[in-house]
Chain A
Amino acid sequence: ETGVTQSPTHLIKTRGQQVTLRCSSQSGHNTVSWYQQALGQGPQFIFQYYREEENGRGNFPPRFSGLQFPNYSSELNVNALELDDSALYLCASSLFMTGSNEQFFGPGTRLTVL
C-alpha cells in the first residue's frame, strides 16, 4: 500500500510568483485535504477536494486554489505569493464518508518565499 506522497520536498520562490504543489493520495482514498503549517504552529485547513470538486474551505484567500484529478491526486496552487505564505504545506488523504474521518498525511512541501 502506497502512502501519501508530495512533491517537491522544498521550494524557494520570490514574492509575487506563483507556485504549484502536488500530492498523490494513498491507495484507495478518494479525498484530499490541504493544510498550511507555519513555523511553530499547528496545521491550518486550506481546503478539501472530493470527486474533483472543492468540498470545504478554510479561511484562505482565493489566490489559494486547487485541483483534484480522476486518479484522486491533487494540486495546490498559490498565486501572487506573499512572504507570509512561507510554510510547510501538508496534504492528507482519506476515504470520504467512512465515518472515521481519519486522514493520512504526506511529508509536506516546505515553501520559502523571499
Chain B
Amino acid sequence: AQSVTQPDIHITVSEGASLELRCNYSYGATPYLFWYVQSPGQGLQLLLKYFSGDTLVQGIKGFEAEFKRSQSSFNLRKPSVHWSDAAEYFCAVVTGNQFYFGTGTSLTVIP
C-alpha cells in the first residue's frame, strides 16, 4: 500500500539558516511526488512536484526537492529560511487519482 512518512513532527530553525524537511514514501512504481505548504487556517499550496526526469526539482519561494529512488525519499530544502516560511509542510504521493499525504512537519522560524 502507498504511504508517506514525514519523520519530523516539528522543526525550529533560525531565520537565514538552511532547511531540510524529510519525506519517505512507499510505492511500488515510479511515484508522482508533491510538496504542499499550509499556513494556519488556509488550504494547501503547491510548492513543487516530481513526475520524472531530473531528480532535483525547483519550486516556488526558493524551495527545491531531490528525488532519491534508492532511499525512497523526496526531501525538501531551502538554503535560507525566511520568517514567512513558518507553516505546515506536507509531502504527498499520488497513485491514480488519489493523494496520500504524510502527517506533516510544522516549521517554526525564530529571528
User: Interface residues, chain A, CB within 8 Å of chain B?
Assistant: 4, 31, 33, 35, 40-45, 48, 50, 55-56, 58, 90, 92, 96, 99-108, 110
Contacts and interface: CB of A to CB of B under 8 A. Distances in A.
Contacts of A104: 46
Contact of A43 (B51, B96, B101): B101
Contacts of A108: 42-43
Interface residues of B, number: 24
Contacts of B49: 100, 102
Given A41-B104, A42-B102, A42-B104, A101 B97 contact: yes
A56 B97 CA distance: 7
B98 A102 contact: no
Given A33-B98, A45-B98, A104-B46, 11 more contacts: A4-B43, A41-B103, A41-B104, A42-B90, A42-B103, A42-B104, A45-B100, A102-B34, A105-B45, A107-B43, A108-B43
